Amino acid sequence: MEKVVFLDRNSLKANLRRPSFDHEWGEFDQTLSSDVVDRLKGATIAITNKVPIRKDSIDQLPDLKFIAVAATGYDVIDIPACKDRGISVANIRNYAVNTVPEHTFSLILSLKRNLVAYRKDILAGRWQKHDQFCFFDYPIGDLSGSTIGIFGEGVLGQGTAKIAKAFGMNVLFADHPPPKAEGVKFTDPEELLREADVISLHCPLTESSRNFIGLNEFKKMKKKAILINTARGGLVNEQDLVIALKEGLIAGAGFDVLTKEPPIEGNPLLDINLPNFILTPHVAWASDGAMQFLADQLIDNVELFISGDPQHLVT
């Protein structure tokens, strides 16, 4: 009989059916890294969203044969160690095709139209004291005719491009060949940084992409450009982003992710009190529909592995 253990059930706000095969089920609201081995002892299948499963834990879990990641990103898993042990790992595909692009554009529109700044002024009573029907303290930019540069041409990058085109934006993609969609021509990243009015990140966090946007990249961007990151914390050097915002190297930024989450030890982005910076708590993926789709595919992945027809494997 299989033993299935979900390490951080509270990270998924959705109905979760039990696998159809004979099994023992265990779940924990959340799990500290120091408790991973004890909680997975005897487990053949582990489910995790954000709890890391590293080599030192894997080496102490001889029964483990499958890890189902309750997310698309799987950087919390030590993939080389799993390969060495013959442990299969599957992730979630195509579940956030609407929610992440929509959140991305919520940030873009809020920043381009300075909604946070205007809202703050209204709460402070500025409109109520004004001598005419409106005031123009902050610039308001149109999306139509502007250029968005997208790093990552997966389904989320493509979904963002689709919305951008509906707004009349010119779309540039920076990725590696071959293109995943028809009619896509890649732009050199250096050119994209120079030309884009909006830059949106939709790429995975790897050793090569870690901190790939820093002070040098900010200096290449337009001063009116805004940067959006709904992908992964760590893609952008956070200290350099603070400098870029405070020195006016870019016009604004909208982030849904931080390098370490939750930021219990603090983070420089938490201390930014500027109307041209918006930070949300890693919720771009979390519409009700997207979470239920994720939960259903998560158990599908487990059942398909046990049936001998594994899907969505990353190793």
Q: Which one from 202, 232, 238, 312 is the annotated catalytic residue? A: 232
232 catalytic per annotation: yes
Residue partners of 204: CB distance under 8 A and separation at least 6: 73, 75, 152, 231, 232
How far does CA 284 lie from the centroid of its chain? 7
282 catalytic per annotation: yes
Supply 42's token pair: 């005897």
The DSSP code for 265 is T
The amino acid that residue 55 corresponds to is K
Q: Which one from 24, 190, 247, 261 is the annotated catalytic residue? A: 261
54 catalytic per annotation: no
Q: Which one from 9, 103, 202, 282 is the annotated catalytic residue? A: 282
Determine the Cα–Cα distance for residues 26 and 139; give it in Å rounded to an integer: 53
Determine the Cα–Cα distance for residues 67 and 145; give it in Å rounded to an integer: 45
Supply 110's token pair: 């809020």
Q: How far apart are the first and last CA of the chain?
A: 23
The DSSP code for 61 is -
Angle between helices 155-166 and 99-112 (to 10 degrees): 50
**Computed from CA positions of residues 216, 221, 224, 230, in that sequence, does the dihedral angle turn out positive or negative?**
negative
Supply the residues annotated as catalytic.
232, 261, 282
